[in-house]
Structure formats: structure tokens, C-alpha cells
Structure 1
């Protein structure tokens, strides 16, 4: 299963983040200092944390401004939900539960008093009100078939009277939970033999009632099954560090007594030992071991086996850590042999040393802060996530702060690779940890008013410019890097145009319909009016340039500018309406995907404009959508990008495929 939606409430600076979507792979949280990013991750971890993680404390974690409600007992901590997480089940999960619960989201709740609850979304357990008529009719049927009471005998209780007695305290809203469901099930079991087996109508009524009475039991069994498969949420903080030298006996004593001199450091050290497959006490005992009796072959063998086991496991862990760190720290193949990490045991000391390309060994703490962080990260991740919990969700709080900017960019690729096996959510201020093609993965965290608290936005929107700064810097850096690096450049009006071209071109290329020249760089200019500036600068540097403009008023104005026409020529100015099969005079790029976007708008965004779009085929799609409450071009484009990840080119209409083939051929021709 994987996390699809989350919400945090009543936790420190957070009153209510609102529900925000979580991507199947990695999700990036950006926002200024004190916005509440760390608090969101800390609260989410409590949905299902690894063992030993600190639990909620009402005094410390409930919003301080509201704490008086707790002390005056206006609010019961047992009713205060802090973290809510909704999971989508995969095929393996659903194969273990009844058909009636498949296709439902599994929702978990963690309360401020650390109690826990779970449910399936959109599931309604039957109530007495739903069964009242069927139950009364079944009882009447039984009474009709009951033999007459012999004269002078005490009349037996009728079925109708028995049902009335059983349901005396029930109301229409009474839910058939364990006790009420069990009472009803027992009565129905007795009623089986009292029903005319040839009466199909009553037999079906009995089956319906028995199914309803057993619903809660099946529901509880399904919940219990899925609960066992719930991913563990592993939070990695910058404060978790592995010490370069660990005194094993002292660490074993601290772990045994629970008296930790530095909990955060000891957590990293404990993870290192877990990764090695030893406890601190076991390694400490091996360090104290004396030579066995030389005359006893078995003692000699056992002693050697112990030492060899320690050596082999230390070596295996060293190799694994070295390989992972090299992928980020030294991605250059020419330096593939540099920076070999070694974990060695020396008596009572466990050492983490780094061997450079000269063969010189130095302790870990003599390397840079960034390198130490990277080593600590992989130690904690492998120990807590990859080995113990294959389906763990990884939460990274400000990863790689001490890494150089370009190392952060390499680490971004590492996170993407980790996210293929472990769903990942991380917070960051760094533009180098947000790729220019990852804006649909971003969640903006902001807190503009402490009375309102932290909010998490699924769309890239914020009233605080500081919250969007990493995104602006990421786009600016990528644009600066690529602006003069490619001989062929297609200038687009904005970011949404960039997404439509990139995503659709990828779909058509995968299907073998048409391929956009890989050497063409897509350059968003932000607005149609700025296309001329980009075109002029790139053309002045001797680069090939073309522009794709919408056929609306802004596009017409840009296309008629004398400088742009002179710079690009008529062939270099591409217009959306020229590639449409239908006639939409003021067509925008969305009209090249008109039918598909109508479906995507309804399914992903809840905007149903099918009738309007069909009735006004010559009206631009965006004009129609502008009348819908909450419409944004960004949200629609983002939904389409997500749609392309799960669909093929064949899912586009035939006209759409023809239109985009025509456009891409024109782009390739203009920039050949």
C-alpha cells in the first residue's frame, strides 16, 4: 500500500493543515523557516513509527495557546486527532480481504494521547434502521407458519415479540457493531429452520439480514489484516549522526539502562549496530574474549568462527555503504575507487574510518560535515527502512543541508532512486533539491497567521513569497544552465505549455507515433509578451530558435511584433490554431487536447464541462473552464501530467494524436 493523502491537526504550530495529496514516489515540501514543515513530518511518523520513537506528550505537543482547554477538561485528549493518513491498497493487499472492501482507501488516525484507530473510507456499517422492515417482515412470516398453541398451554413467545424485546433499546441509528450484531446473528441462526425453504423471497431476506449481521465481523477482520501490512514511517533528522569511534561497553550499558548521554547520537550508533547485525553487548564481549584453550579444537573453531563472522559482517556493511555513498559523493567514474568506507572493530572500540585514494585512513569526523551527514543517512536508512521494513515510508527533514549545492543535486537523484522502493516525503529550502520537472511533486507549507496555523497546499500557491523561493530559484538555475547550452530552442509562453508539450511528446514517442528532437530545449518564457526577449537573446548568441504561441489575443500581439518576425521568420513562429483539425479561432494549447482535458478536468478536478464543451466546439476550452469555480490552468496542467503517467498515447483521441503529430513535426522542421 502507499500513502495518498495526509492531514495534521492540533500539533504544536499546527491547528489544521487540511488534507494534502502525497505522491506515489517522492513528495517535496517547501516553505520558509517556522512554517511547520518539521512538525508535519514528526506528526505523520506517529501513524506507525519504528520502535523506540518518542510518543506524543500532551503537555509538549498540544498547541500551547489551546492547552487551557485540556487542563479545564473542555477537551478530552482521547478525542483529539493529530495525524490522519489515507492509504491506497495494492493488489497484494486486496487479495487478502473480502471483495466488498476492495477499492477502498485505508485510513489511520493517531490521537494526542497516543491512542490509534483505523477504518476503510466510504464504508457504512449497517444500522438497525436499514434492517427494520426486513426484520419485521421475516418475524411476521415465521409467526404465520408457527403452529397454533394447544388449548390450555402457555403460548410461546412469537417471533415478532422476540424481535421487539431484542431491539427495545435500538434506534434507527444504532450501528450493528459487535454486541448488537451478535444478538441479531444468534436470533437469525435460530430462525433458519422456521422459514419455509420453498419461499425464495423469505430465503433471500434471511440471507440479506445474515450478511448485514456478519458485516462488522468481516469488516474488523479486513481491518486487522491490512493493519499488519501498514508501512512503518521512518523519520531521518539532520541530528542523527554516527560517531566515528564508539566505545562498545559504554554504549551497551547506556542502551541496557536507558540512560543515554545523547539520544540523537546513540540512535545513529544503534542503527549502525543494527546494520551490522550485532548488539553492542555482543561486539563488546567479542572484544574481551580471551584466547581459547589451544588443546581443544572445538573451542578454537568456535572462537575463529565468531571472529570471522564479525569480520565478514563488518566488511559486507562497509562495501554496501561505500557503494551507495560513491553514487552521490563521487559520481565521476574516474574516481570510482576513492573514499572507501570501512567499519572496523578494535577491542572495545568500533571505528568508522574513510580510506582515500592514497590508501590513507582517517576517522569519519575528520571529513566534511556533508560527508558525515551522508554516511549517517545511509546507515539509518538501511537499518530502519531497507532491511527491516521493505514497505517503509521515508520522511526526510531538511536532508543534505551540509552538502555542496551540486552534491545536493546528485542527492536529489539518490532520493528519486530510493523513492522507487520506499515512498519518500522530504522538506527542503534548497532549490537544488527541487528539479525543474518536479514542480507537480511540490507541496507548499506556510504559516501566515499563528491563529490559523500551518497550512499545506497541494498546488504551488502561497501568499508568502518566501515559501515559493526554492521553486523560483530552481527554475532560474535550470534556465540559466540550459539557456545557452542547446543549439535548438523552442520558446513557450509559460510553464503549463512546457508541461503539455513535454508530457504529450513523451506519450507519442513511447507509442512510436512521432518523436520530438531530443536536442530541442523547451524554454518557458512566463508570458507571451516575454517571448520576444528570450528569442532575441538566444538568436543573438547564434542559436536556432522557434516559438509556440497561443492564438489568443496575447499570442496574436506577440506574433505581430516586428522584431520577433524579423528574428524568427514566419517558419519559426508556430501558432496553436494552425495545428487544430477543428476550428477554434482563438485556440490555446489546451485545445490541442480538448477531449482528453474535458475528461481529466472532471475525473481529477471535479470540473464537469462536457456539455458546455460539446455545445460550443469553437470556443476555447480555457474560456469555458474560466466560468468554473476554483479553476486554474496550473491545476489542470498538473492533473494532465499525472494522467499521462498512467495512460498511453492510444488513450488520446485520434484527432488529438494527429494534431500533436502535426505540431511536433512542425517544431522539428523549424529547428532542424
Structure 2
């Protein structure tokens, strides 16, 4: 799909000039209430709305603290955006808008890149401009026609409330007639109309059918077909469990029932949880907006998941990942659980400066409210952030790494050998892929910090992201030193892959695996490639010889920690572990220029 690169909002409520905001396939806008997140999305939505009719109102939307400029506001630009075309889209545009020469198109090499700029101001419709084709090679009017038809539409969803209560269709019909415009109806009424449209049910026709016995019979087929369609569309978005919807109509009264295997019988929608009804509302509104295609949209979501349990929020983030293959997802949040630590590059901090919106890319803000969200997502509680700011901080991949390193350091220190400096605090992340967010936070806070990564594919990927996002841009610019250590090299190993378990040696880990699973794996059973980390070599044997789907590292770690408790001196350690650990601690201390 066409890539949404960046946008800018100006002259709109508390947004004087947002500056250019670059966009990821999924972008989270984190900020406090009244900072301007809603204003940002409302202004952007009007640029190319999927439902026609949205527009800017100079009398309501012009910034109140610049009110003297309102009289000259007509034509002032509110929203700018740029989209980048892929190779297929460039070809499609060329096929549609190319200029013919003497009845035949001249040989022409298509540009490698092409951008479409879109903008709209007060009192005007949206305008489009195609860039990067040489002058005279395409018909500009045809190019604009193509752009209007193909630039992604904006879907703005901000009201999710849905009671699920029964609806009197004849009364709804009357309210719609009185309102004249469905946008003047309550959110509840609009949602019911969406459901009816999704089900291909015309409200007037449906009410009319209810007045005769033959009509009611025909209507029963309509509602069965509608129920199947709603069930399918909901299942495409929500995959926690199978849910079946059933529309029931008794006279003019419409009820929606939901049934899943856990309940075993239909239950009226209003009896289901608020979080479930939220998901139903979101799913059907997005289905309606995209006509069930779920594609080629910029989806703007206000505080999604606020009514969901933590597991439901994680499911929603996974839904975003799936939808982002064919859509751009942008959402606002003040929930730590809706910030994905594995992708800090997706975060934009929304601040209020002098009562106007300001955007900061990344995960560091001078303001307390957005930082509270980021800190909570990183597991920082109370005044721990302030505590760590006065320490040397080494980020490690997980809690297991911290436990193992502290145990080894204690044994070595007791015997006067190289151990981890007491000035260094080990801060566990939740896996290699999430360490960049921890690193970005530490660099942004100007902590004296570093990160220790496994020498493997995930660790190398994390190192690359940390270097590109933070070290090369933030740390070096401020003169701050941030250390990135790879575990294998720091421990003096020549293995290509090296994880925390490799510190104890292959034989120790193999013995723990045998004790955990009741096996008798021998050294000669392991793959001969000694460059691979022990966990991967053991997993091959478990899969190929013992029918395991994967290596359950948590169970093996439990056995390892049980054995740790019996170690009282370095001579109790597996052979070579003390030497490898000593080299590692020395490398960490030297990186921080600290003595043991």
C-alpha cells in the first residue's frame, strides 16, 4: 500500500504548528489529557475522510489565543501530508496519466520514487499534487484524479461506547427523520445503523416488512444472513475466541445476542463486558468504514483498549500488527500497556508547551505526565527512576540474566577475584527486542549507562536499532557515552553465538536439561558445531530425538537456579565458569572505567 510518511497540522485549536511529524506503520501518541491529541487527529481526519462531509469550521476551530487572525483565516492551511508510492503504484499512475506523443507514448524510464502531497485549509476542499515525474510526462489533471482515488482514506474512531441494549426500530426511524443527518444522532443510534448497513438491511424496508406476516417471514432470512456476516467480520478482527452473533427481532424490537464456547448459549450484548462491547463497536465501525476490506486506510484511534483487560490490550496490539500490513495505524494512549517496548521508534510524545501542542519523537520528555507512562511500561516504579539516574546502569536482556550475574559476581568477589562493581546496577529488560526502548530511555535521561546483549541474531538486531535510533543521534550529539557490550566477546568466547547460559559451559546446561526432562543426552548427541549457543544445540536434540516442540527454557532455568543455591565458592562452579565470568565483569567495569 501507499506509505504515509509524515504530516503537519497548523492553525487548529491548540495546535499552532505541530512541525512535521513522521509516521510509522504503527504510531502511538502518548500524552496527558488536554495536550491536544484529539485536535491533532480531528484535523488530520478532515484531510481525506473516508466518509465525506468532514470539514474545518473557522468560527470554532481557529486558535482562540490567535483570534485576531481569524478574519484572514480563510484559505489558511490546516493539514499537510505526504505519501510515498511503491513501484506498482508508480506504474499504475503512469498507465493512467502518461502524456501521449503522436498517439504513442515515448519510451520513458519511470522514476524510482514518487511522492504525493495532500493539503487542505479553511473553506477549501482537499488538494493533491504529484511530484517527481519529469515535467510534461504526465497529465496533471489525470494524475490528480488518480491521487484522489488512491491516496489512503482517514478513518477516525473516537466514540466506542455501545450499550448493546434493545432498540425499537420504528423509534430509531423517527429519530433519523427528525435529525435529518445521521451524524446528529447519538453514538448508540449511529452504531445500530452501521450494524444494519453491514448486514445489508435498509431500515425503512425492514420496518415495513414487520407490518405483514409475509414481510416478517422474509425479514427472518435477512436477519439470519446478517447474523452470519457480522460473525464473520468480527472474527476477522478479534481472534481471542470464536464468537457468534445473532440478530433477533420481535415486532419492532431489535436485540443482538453473542455466544461463545465458554458461555454455551446466546447472551444479550448488553450483558457482556464493557471491554467486549468496546471491541464489537470498534470492529464493526472499522468494517463499515472500509466496506469489510480492512485496507488502504489511515486508522486514527482515540484511546483504544481503555476498557480492555491487559490480555485484551495485548491482543489489540497484535490486531494492529496484522492490520498494519495494509493500513497505517495511529492511536493515542495514556496506558503503559498500550506502549510496545519492543518498538520505541513508534512512540511520539505529545506535550503542552505554553498551552499549545508540541510533538517529541522518541520516549523522553521534560514533562512528567507522558514520562510516567513510559516509565511504567519499562517497569520503573516509585522513585526508582531517580535512583537509577544516580547509578551506573547496565541494561540486561532479562531477570534471569541479572540473577545469574549477581550470583557469579558474589562468589568471585568473596575470593577477591574480578567481580561486578557495586556501583553498577543491572536493569532487566524483557527480552533483547525490548532493550532499545530501555536504552533510549537511559540515553534520553542522560544516565551513565550501557547494555549487555547476547551474541545472537536477536542481540545483533537490538544493537543495530540502539545504534541507529539513539547512540548515533542522541548520545553522540550530547557527548554522552553509552556502552553496548556483546556477551560472547566480553566473556572471551570465540563462539559465534553466546547467551547467558553459555557462561556455565555446555556440560552444565546439558545436565540441567537431563534433570528437567528425565533424559540422558550425552555430549556426543549434540550437534558438532561448537560455535552455536548451547540452548540451540540442545533444542535440536529435543526436537529430533525426543519429540519436543521446543526447548522450555523456563523449566531448565528453574533447575539451574536450584543448583545455584548449592554453590558456596568458585570451586563449586562448573569448569571454566569462573574464568568466563571474571572476564565479563572486568570488561563491564572497564567500560564504565570502574575498579572492582
Structure 1-normalised TM-score?
0.56
- Partner residue, 2:126: 116
Counterpart-to-counterpart distance in 2, 1:389 and 1:5: 21
Kept in 1, the 8 Å contact 2:11–2:62? The answer is yes
Distance 1:540-1:106 versus aligned 2 partners, 3 A rule = closer
Structure number having the greater helix percentage = 1
**Could you report, residue by residue, the CA deviation over 1:450-472 in whole angstroms, capped at 9, with x for unpaired residues?**
2xx21122222321121122221
**Alpha-carbon separation, structure 2, partners of 1:543 and 1:433:** 31
Question: 1:255 Cα shift?
Answer: 3.5
Q: Is the 8 A contact 1:539 1:545 kept in 2?
A: no
In structure 1, which of residues 274, 287, 302 is the aligned counterpart of residue 210 of structure 2? Answer: 287
2:265 is aligned with 1:370? no
Q: Are positions 1:252 and 2:173 aligned together? A: yes
Equivalent residue for 1:392, pick from 282, 297, 305: 297
Query: Equivalent of 2:196, from 254, 258, 273?
Result: 273
1:104 deviates by 2.1
Does residue 106 of the first structure (1) align with residue 119 of the second (2)? no
Q: Displacement of 1:13 after TM fit?
A: 0.9
Q: Which residue of 2 aligns with 1:16?
A: 17
**3-state SS in 2 of match to 1:383:** helix
CA distance in 1, matches of 2:15, 2:174: 38
SS in 1 for 2:92: coil
- How far residue 410 of structure 1 moved from its aligned partner, in angstroms, is 2.6
Question: For 1:252 and 1:346, how far apart are their aligned partners in 2?
Answer: 16
| Contact 2:8/2:17 (8 A) holds in 1 | yes
Taking a change above 3 Å as real, the CA distance of residues 53 and 343 of structure 1, as seen in their structure-2 partners, is farther
Using the TM superposition, give the Cα deviation of residue 59 of structure 1 relative to its aligned residue in structure 2, in angstroms. Answer: 1.0
How far apart, CA to CA, are the structure 2 residues paired with 1:380 and 1:544? 52
Matches of 1:546 and 1:241 in 2, distance apart? Answer: 56
State the distance in 1 between where 2:351 and 2:496 align.
Answer: 40
CA distances 1:201-260 after superposition (whole Å, capped 9, x unpaired): xxxxxxxxxxx6x45x62332232122101111111134536432322333344455255
Counterpart of 2:82 in structure 1 is 86
Counterpart CA distance in 2 for 1:286 and 1:661 is: 79
Question: Aligned to 1:476, which of 379, 387, 402?
Answer: 379
Residues of 1 paired with 2:222 and 2:150: CA distance?
33
2:351 to 446, 449, 456: 446
Offset from partner CA, 1:465-493 (integer Å, 9 cap, x none):
2112222111117x99xxxxxxxxxxxxx
In the alignment, is residue 341 of structure 1 matched against residue 245 of structure 2?
yes
Which residue is 2:27 aligned to?
27
Q: 1:220 aligns with which of 120, 130, 141?
A: 141
Secondary structure of the corresponding residue to residue 299 of structure 2 = strand
Q: Are the structure 2 counterparts of residues 304 and 12 from structure 1 closer, same or farther at C-alpha, using a change threshold of 3 Å?
A: same
**Aligned match for 2:74, one of 77, 88, 104:** 77
CA distance in 1, matches of 2:82, 2:300: 16
The whole-number CA distance in structure 2 between the counterparts of 1:361 and 1:274 is: 23
Q: State the Cα distance separating 1:100 from its structure 2 match.
A: 5.4
Partner of residue 38, structure 1: 38
Q: 1:51: Cα distance to partner?
A: 2.0
**Equivalent position SS for 1:18:** coil
- Map of 1:313 onto structure 2: 226
Matched residues in 1 for 2:286 and 2:188: separation? 15
Q: Deviations over 1:553-604 (max 9, x none)?
A: xxxxx97646699x9xxxxxxxxxxxxxxxxxxx9999x99xx99x9999x8
**What count of residue pairs does the alignment treat as equivalent?**
442
Cα shift readout 1:503-551 (whole Å, capped 9, x = no counterpart)? xxxxxxxxxxxxxxxxxxxxxx98982349x89996896789789xxxx
Q: Is the 8 A contact 1:536 1:564 kept in 2?
A: no
The aligned counterpart of 1:665 is 498
Q: CA deviation at 1:52?
A: 5.0
Instruction: Give the conservation status (yes or no) of the 8 Å contact 1:370–1:403.
Output: yes
Once the two structures are TM-superposed, the CA of residue 93 in structure 1 deviates from its matched residue by 1.4
Tell me if structure 1 keeps the 8 A contact 2:303–2:333.
yes
**Matching residue within 348, 353, 359 for 1:456:** 359
1:29, 1:427 within 8 Å by CA — same for their partners in 2? yes
Change (3 A) 1:546 1:252: farther
Per the TM alignment, residue 27 of structure 1 is displaced from its structure 2 partner at its CA by 1.0
- In structure 1, the residue matched to 2:62 is 62
State whether structure 2 residue 313 is matched by structure 1 residue 413: no
Q: Residues 170-190 of structure 1: CA distance to partner in whole angstroms, max 9, x if unpaired?
A: xxxxxxxxxxxxxxxxxxxxx
Cα drift, residue 361 of structure 1: 4.0
2:579 maps to none
Which secondary structure does the structure 2 equivalent of 1:291 belong to? helix
1:113 deviates by 2.1
3-state SS of 2:327 partner: coil
SS in 2 for 1:399: coil
* Structure 2 CA distance for partners of 1:114 and 1:286, relative to 1, 3 Å: farther
Per-residue deviation, 1:115: 2.5
Q: Does the residue aligned with 1:271 lie in a helix, a strand or coil?
A: helix
Query: Distance between the aligned counterparts of 1:121 and 1:527, measured in 2?
Result: 51
- Aligned-residue RMSD, C-alpha: 4.6
Change over 3 Å in CA distance of 1:307–1:92 after alignment to 2: farther
Q: Please give the alpha-carbon distance, in whole angstroms, between the structure 2 residues aligned to 1:307 and 1:537.
A: 58
Residue in 2 that maps onto 1:500: none
Structure 2 stretches lacking a partner, 5+ long:
95-108, 410-416, 427-449, 510-596
Q: Is the 8 A contact 2:294 2:327 kept in 1?
A: no
**Which residue of 2 is the match for residue 354 of structure 1?**
258
Task: Quote the residue 1:427 is aligned against.
Answer: 332
Q: Whose radius of gyration is greater, 1 or 2?
A: 1
What is residue 196 of structure 1 aligned with on the other side?
A: none
Q: Deviations over 1:58-92 (max 9, x none)?
A: 11111111122223xxx2411x1111111111233
TM (normalized to structure 2)? 0.63
Change (3 A) 1:113 1:476: same
Aligned equivalents of 1:438, 1:546: Cα separation in 2: 32
Give SS of 1:103's match: coil
